[in-house]
Structure 1
Amino acid sequence: MVNSHADPLPDDAVVSPRGTIVPDVGLQARALSATVVPMGLFESRDGVLSVVWVNEAFERALGYGVDGAQLLEPSVRQELERDPVRASQLAAALAAAQPFTPTFTLGRADGTRFVCEVHLAPVPTDDGSAPVHWVAAFQDMTERLSHDAEQAALVEAERRERRSLGLIAQVSDLLMDVDDPHSLREIAMLLRHGVVAWAGFFLNDRGLRAADGVDAAHLPTGRGHRHGDTRDDARVRRDAPDAVQLLLDGERDRPVEVDLDAAYPDGSASGWLAHHLASEAYRQEGGAVLPQDRRAVVYPVPGRRRVLGLLVVLPRGGGGLRGVEPSTTTVLELTARRVGLVVDNARLYDREHRLAETLQRAMLPQQAEVEGLDVWTYYAPNSENVQVGGDWYDVLQIAPDVVGVVIGDVVGHDVEAAAAMGQLRSVVRSYTFDITTPGPVLERVDQLVTGMRIPRSAGLVLSTLTRHASGWRLEYSRAGHLPVLHVRGGVATELRGAGGALIGFGGNGRSTSTVELAEGDVLVYYTDGLIERRDRGLRDGLAALAGVASRVTARDAAGIGEELLSRLADHPEDDVAVVVVRVPDPRDHLERARSPRRRRWSLPNEPGSIGRARHAVVRTCQAWEIPDAANAELVVSELVANAVLHGYGHVSLQLYDTGDGLRIEVEDGNPAPPVTTDGHPGRVGGFGMQIVERLADWGWRQSRGGKLVWAKVRPGALPPTGRG
């Protein structure tokens, strides 16, 4: 309904059949021309659109009008030819006279690009025939594309950060087992799969060596440049700084670049590294596809006080330092720092272990052999501690017919406890040789300890065994220590007499108890580590010890001790010291076949252990009446030498009397198997396992802590050399 009071109609307006005011064509054209949206009118000719009109907004956006747009039509058609899918969609829309919204990139007059969505729609004809003209609105996509690009960049940055965090987490997991010799190699492989084309670690451990399994010669280390005689190569700069050496010396803390195909002075760290990285072993290592641009990037692996090694990488696209993305740089630097910290901690911990173990071993006596008694001794530190503690024992040949036995425990598992133990051991030994009665000896020890002000409390049992015409007499005194166990005829009795306070607190004097020993009697001295557990109290532990000791079938001190250990000390939670003394029985030789014998030693990983092992085997063969001890001595010497030279951690030596020979077992912390090599004049070593093969049947197996190598020595004399 038309309002009769409305303003009069303009001259260029008409009224539609429904009463709506419709501007004429001129007004519509002016409206399209005035809009701020770039628009144009196209004419369809044989399925090809050609521009016939553009508005002012189009001219402002692109810098040209109809004529310029017509000149650019060939480039638009070429763009469509490069995108046949979009071209076919446009042709279908034109044929069906349907609206279509393609995306085009148009060139502006100033040479920049105008990315836009073109909203095409057909203009209906008066007679309803196929449309000839198409109107187009050009929507600028620059802002939206910039926003999309920013979002994509944010997503990519987040993805890189997540990848970096994931890699660092995996590296941390692998570093939890840095004692595993393959852990650094696995970390390098992780970096190769994640961020670089190739990666490898080189540790600066008494010479630069590869830590990823590739055998490489060692490079001498120390501060200063190592430019030796240079090669006759014009590319070598004699005055050029040795970048890798500067990293090793700590004079640079940022990564450096090493061209694997460049020439370096002989003897330089950079030349050594380039030579070994360019070798065939590294080119083929892991089947990795390395970039043609072989410029390696070297990161220092820092410790607390010095550089422990190098992390060397080859970027995936080459380019050296410039080819490493910032996120990749962060991952590599964090990896190098974490590896350095963990390796430094492991080395520090290992040094502490070696120092403590050396101190402990220096204070403990050798396997005791006393006249007229069968004696077996054992000591093992708790592996969870620093491998040093206050447990000790001593077996003394005071006189031809007098033997002293002492076992004690100083509170603590540190160097101070070991030092206190050493002081007490020296004091007790001195007074025992002067006064053979245990009670008065401990009284003198109380007096001296009070004056010395030893900071740790301690308990001990001191006893003397005196031989007389009818047998042996035991005299003992206890200072706050567990009772000695006396076993006779399958009955175990705790010797609780002559008890007293801890050393240094016996102000009321010390008493001495006496027990007459019979042939076959056994005395078991021990510390609480043998019987006490978190899930088993002291009383229960004493009862368990008495039960096991009463059922022991072995007929020698070593066999008895081994049975006690196997049943009670399978998982000790504290230091364990045990001394077993047995009064020989003339009937023992009749029971020899029924008494399998075993002895064990825990040796430090040092060259001196080789001699100790040989001495232990000779003594054991003599005690067990095994002939041809020289063969066994030679075999154990080679096995222990291999464990010391090529293994790490404790070296465990065990001997078994199998009835038809001697079985030797040597265990160390290196899981790598022993290898028999062919020796020749140019090689140091390589003959050890060949000697073992000639003298024994041998083999090896994995153990929980590394590997165990066994050898069963063949009876008989040394075999001939095979030469005529």
Structure 2
Amino acid sequence: MVAVNSHAPGSAEPQLAEIRDRALGATSVPIALLDATASDLPVVWVNDAFQNVTGYGLDGARDRYREIFADTGLSPARQDVVQSVELPLADGTSVTFRAYLSPVRAGTDGAVTHWVAALQDPGAAGSHQDGAAAVESERRERRSLNLIAQVSDLLMDVDDPHALREIAALLRRSVVSWAAFYLNDGGLRVADGIDGGHPPTGKGTRHGDVRGAGVPGHDAVQQLLDAELDRPVELDLTGSYGGGSASAWLTHHAAAVPGVAEGQRVLVFPLPGRRRVLGVLAVQGPEGAGLHALEPSVRTVLELTARRVGMVIDNARLYDREHRLAEALQRAMLPEQAEVDGLDVWTYYAPNSDNAQVGGDWYDVLQVSPDVVGVVIGDVVGHDVEAAASMGQLRSVVRSYIFDLTTPGPVLERVDQLIAGMRVPRPAGLVLSTLTRRDDAWRLEYSRAGHLPVLLVRAGAVTQLDAAGGPLIGFGGGPRATGAIDLQPGDVLVYYTDGLIERRDRGLRDGLDALCAVAAAVTARDAAGVGEELLSRLADHPEDDVAVVVVRVPSPLDQVERARSPRRRRWSLPSEAASIGRARHAVLRTCHAWGIEDAANAELVVSELVANAVLHGFGHVSLQLYDTGDGLRIEVEDGNPAPPVTTDGHPGRVGGFGMQIVERLADWGWRQSRGGKLVWAKVRPGSLPPSGR
């Protein structure tokens, strides 16, 4: 500007003007000064950046760019102009620049004397835009990765009853306006948790419960569930769908949810498993956006979430099916509560429900003859279907031979030979014993194959029967020893597997010492009481399967001392219909043993509680009975944390009155437990209350 303007006399202004000239010349922005007094707007000054970009200095720019800026629509009335200007360069090419033109006015009359033209290199502009786009793309990718990581964290706890609800809430907070999961269990239903193959009931309506009478139409949701479509679909909330269809049910349910925008679309993503679609993820995009309007990163997050949820559900159900199969195999091979002549016998078995594992622990109590009783306890290595199958094979072999031979050592020798030939894939340890009655006295013979010793409790002293030891079954290859001891009235034998005593924080030897100490302090005078004391002290939090058999030789003082036994019993039952009958039988037998008369009410109450646990819960069912002195307290625990509900029955089908029956016969309540819920009822035995109660 110094080249075309004069400055007033003074000491400061010439110095400042010189600095401005140097600054404009040194800037990296291409700048040219145009003479506004001439019609063709000639270039009268350029800086170094202008020359570097165009290849022309002042003289070349004045010749080449005459009248080029004159077509930009400049007028004295305008303040700033932004125009695209195509300039020929010195290398023979042409480039379109974005020109920012600002007027330079005279000091007094405001007349425009010059125009300042600042050029923006299109390459630099594109680079800036590309950089901004890259930053935004990275931000979206980071958000997407963070969301997927949070979803993965939530899916790690498959037992969380609200995992899917929390994932839907996470999606609502981040990328969509509404989201919900629906699982397909004979019809769509709202899902809060993964459920692991045990879908809860009583959680609202379910598609398929009631079929509509309308004419079936296009059902895109059903096509997703049938795997006829492998891409997400859109549902119009105001659309018309065939009566009773999955699409009609889903749109009706979604439209009734607070916060779902009416008259807009719902996007439905399948939850794929290995062989079938397990359900759907329904979302509403921002402002009801359709699939094509979703950001690619948002759609990717939704599809990955749906796939991960589907695979986790499938894995949970696959593991649960294997667990149930192994448990059914194992329980089918375990005997019921043993009843033998002349001995008091109590048995107990519970798998490690905390880790949902099933092992090869088993026991057997056999009435070989009127005067011979066989007792076996063993453990096959492993916690899976193969372990349970191996246990079944071994148990059958032992049962077969013990009826031919009553001496344990030779029986195990035969078992070794046969098991080696059968190629049973898992090693196993066991204790085989026989109790023989001679002149009203009992003699114990036993042989151990790599198993922990049986305990003999006599008058408060504990002896480990650790003689007659040998290698694991199948590894014998030689004679097996037989130990023997004469029993006295009141003697107690405790058979057990290592799950009763083994813990991560202590060794097996320390656990055995703890068991001996507890057994020595037992005050009970019946086999069930002894077993209950052992379990209450040692098996509250087992880390492995537990099998226990307690055998007690009756004593003439039993009737006098029976009152000293704890009045508590427990059973671990599989979640199957047959457990209802077992629970009723257990209550009747216990009431008889405790002298509780007229146990009809208790039988009915326990039947309803266990039935609810089997039908509406999941996991193992734990049954406990307590004699409170003025009645019988029944506790039933299952893995479903949802509370029991008193209803007036279910329309259209039998049932639904169970808790009303319990309420009529007992005081009852419930509480959350470590693994689900516990429902209790206190029954006062007697006749049924009058109908007006």
TM-score of Structure 1 vs Structure 2, range by shorter chain: 0.7 to 0.9
Q: 1:500 to 1:58 in 2, by over 3 A?
A: same
Q: CA separation in 1, counterparts of 2:412 and 2:425?
A: 18
| 1:217 equivalent in structure 2 | 205
- Give the 3-state SS of the residue equivalent to 2:267 in structure 1: strand
- Give the 3-state SS of the residue equivalent to 2:489 in structure 1: coil
Question: Deviation string for 1:474-526 (max 9, x for gaps)?
Answer: 22222332211001111000112333333344444334333222222111011
Alignment of 1:167-182 (within 5 A): 167-182=147-162
2:270 to 300, 309, 313: 300
2:247 to 260, 270, 277: 270
- Structure 2 length-normalised TM: 0.83
Q: Percent identity?
A: 69
2:665 equivalent to 1:695: yes
Q: CA separation in 2, counterparts of 1:681 and 1:29?
A: 95
Q: What runs of 5+ residues in structure 1 fail to find an aligned partner?
A: 1-11, 19-25, 39-54, 77-101, 232-237
More divergent stretch after superposition (698-707 vs 419-428) = 419-428
Q: 1:315 to 1:713 in 2, by over 3 A?
A: same
Q: CA separation in 1, counterparts of 2:211 and 2:653?
A: 28
Question: Deviation string for 1:147-194 (max 9, x for gaps)?
Answer: 554444333322222221221111111111233232111111211121
Q: 1:117 to 1:544 in 2, by over 3 A?
A: same
Q: CA separation in 2, counterparts of 1:119 and 1:688?
A: 87
| 2:465 equivalent in structure 1 | 495
Q: 1:707 to 1:636 in 2, by over 3 A?
A: same
More divergent stretch after superposition (146-155 vs 623-632) = 146-155
| 1:261 equivalent in structure 2 | 238
Q: CA separation in 1, counterparts of 2:462 and 2:131?
A: 81
Task: Judge conservation of contact 1:317–1:323 (CA < 8 Å) in 2.
Answer: no
Q: CA separation in 2, counterparts of 1:336 and 1:669?
A: 26
Q: What runs of 5+ residues in structure 2 fail to find an aligned partner?
A: 11-33, 47-62, 87-95, 194-201
Task: Judge conservation of contact 1:661–1:715 (CA < 8 Å) in 2.
Answer: yes
2:106 equivalent to 1:123: yes
1:647 to 592, 611, 617: 617
| 1:188 equivalent in structure 2 | 168
Q: Give 2:71's aligned amino acid.
A: G
- Give the 3-state SS of the residue equivalent to 1:515 in structure 2: strand
More divergent stretch after superposition (255-264 vs 315-324) = 315-324
Q: Give 2:243's aligned amino acid.
A: D
Task: Judge conservation of contact 2:218–2:242 (CA < 8 Å) in 1.
Answer: no
Aligned-pair CA distance for 1:103 = 6.2
Q: CA separation in 1, counterparts of 2:327 and 2:261?
A: 49
| 2:43 equivalent in structure 1 | 35
Q: CA separation in 1, counterparts of 2:577 and 2:481?
A: 45
Q: CA separation in 1, counterparts of 2:213 and 2:649?
A: 32
| 1:438 equivalent in structure 2 | 408
Q: 1:216 to 1:386 in 2, by over 3 A?
A: closer
More divergent stretch after superposition (362-371 vs 487-496) = 362-371
Question: Deviation string for 1:117-172 (max 9, x for gaps)?
Answer: 55555534xxxx67665644243569576655444433332222222122111111
Task: Judge conservation of contact 2:362–2:379 (CA < 8 Å) in 1.
Answer: yes
- Which of the two has higher C-alpha Rg? 1
- Give the 3-state SS of the residue equivalent to 2:327 in structure 1: helix
Q: Give 1:420's aligned amino acid.
A: S
| 1:63 equivalent in structure 2 | 71
Q: CA separation in 2, counterparts of 1:553 and 1:539?
A: 24
Task: Judge conservation of contact 2:601–2:665 (CA < 8 Å) in 1.
Answer: yes
| 1:94 equivalent in structure 2 | none
Q: CA separation in 2, counterparts of 1:659 and 1:36?
A: 113
Q: Give 1:123's aligned amino acid.
A: A
Q: Give 1:245's aligned amino acid.
A: Q
Q: CA separation in 1, counterparts of 2:70 and 2:233?
A: 49
Q: CA separation in 1, counterparts of 2:177 and 2:635?
A: 44
Alignment of 1:135-150 (within 5 A): 135-140=114-119, 143=122, 148-150=128-130
Task: Judge conservation of contact 1:519–1:584 (CA < 8 Å) in 2.
Answer: yes
Q: CA separation in 2, counterparts of 1:36 and 1:209?
A: 79
Aligned residues: 633
| 2:28 equivalent in structure 1 | none
Aligned-pair CA distance for 1:710 = 1.3
2:570 equivalent to 1:616: no
Task: Judge conservation of contact 1:472–1:517 (CA < 8 Å) in 2.
Answer: yes
Aligned-pair CA distance for 1:197 = 1.6
Q: Give 1:273's aligned amino acid.
A: L
Q: CA separation in 2, counterparts of 1:694 and 1:295?
A: 50
1:475 to 435, 445, 451: 445
Aligned-pair CA distance for 1:31 = 13
RMSD over aligned CA atoms reads 3.6
More divergent stretch after superposition (174-183 vs 140-149) = 140-149
Aligned-pair CA distance for 1:305 = 1.4
Aligned-pair CA distance for 1:208 = 1.5
Task: Judge conservation of contact 1:386–1:413 (CA < 8 Å) in 2.
Answer: no
- Give the 3-state SS of the residue equivalent to 1:344 in structure 2: helix
Q: CA separation in 2, counterparts of 1:36 and 1:401?
A: 127
Task: Judge conservation of contact 1:385–1:413 (CA < 8 Å) in 2.
Answer: no
Q: CA separation in 2, counterparts of 1:712 and 1:370?
A: 32
Q: Give 1:164's aligned amino acid.
A: S
Q: 1:480 to 1:36 in 2, by over 3 A?
A: farther
Aligned-pair CA distance for 1:717 = 2.2
| 2:596 equivalent in structure 1 | 626
Q: CA separation in 1, counterparts of 2:203 and 2:113?
A: 75
Question: Deviation string for 1:647-702 (max 9, x for gaps)?
Answer: 11111112223333222111111111111112376553221111111222211111
Q: 1:346 to 1:62 in 2, by over 3 A?
A: farther
Aligned-pair CA distance for 1:105 = 5.7
- Structure 1 length-normalised TM: 0.79
1:422 to 376, 379, 392: 392
- Give the 3-state SS of the residue equivalent to 1:710 in structure 2: strand
Q: Give 1:156's aligned amino acid.
A: E
2:507 equivalent to 1:537: yes
- Give the 3-state SS of the residue equivalent to 1:442 in structure 2: helix
Task: Judge conservation of contact 1:122–1:134 (CA < 8 Å) in 2.
Answer: yes
| 1:247 equivalent in structure 2 | 224
2:425 to 455, 459, 480: 455
Task: Judge conservation of contact 1:596–1:659 (CA < 8 Å) in 2.
Answer: no
Q: Give 1:257's aligned amino acid.
A: E
Q: 1:456 to 1:107 in 2, by over 3 A?
A: closer
2:319 equivalent to 1:331: no
Q: CA separation in 2, counterparts of 1:61 and 1:367?
A: 105
Q: CA separation in 2, counterparts of 1:27 and 1:199?
A: 64
Aligned-pair CA distance for 1:615 = 1.8
Aligned-pair CA distance for 1:533 = 3.1
Question: Deviation string for 1:228-250 (max 9, x for gaps)?
Answer: 8545xxxxxx7x64322221111
